[in-house]
Amino acid sequence: MTVVRSILLFLLAALAEIGGAWLVWQGWRENRGLLWIAAGVIALGAYGFVATFQPDPNFGRILAAYGGVFVAGSLAWGMVVDKFRPDRYDLAGAAICLVGVALIMYAPRTS
- Give residue-wise pLDDT tens across range 63-108: 999 999 999 999 999 999 999 999 999 999 999 999 999 999 999 9
- Give residue-wise pLDDT tens across range 28-61: 999 999 999 999 999 999 999 999 999 999 999 9
Contact 73, 14 (CB under 8 A): yes
Q: What is the DSSP letter of 87?
A: -
Residue 53 to residues 8, 57, 79, Cα–Cα distance (Å): 11, 9, 28
Amino acid 1: pLDDT: 75
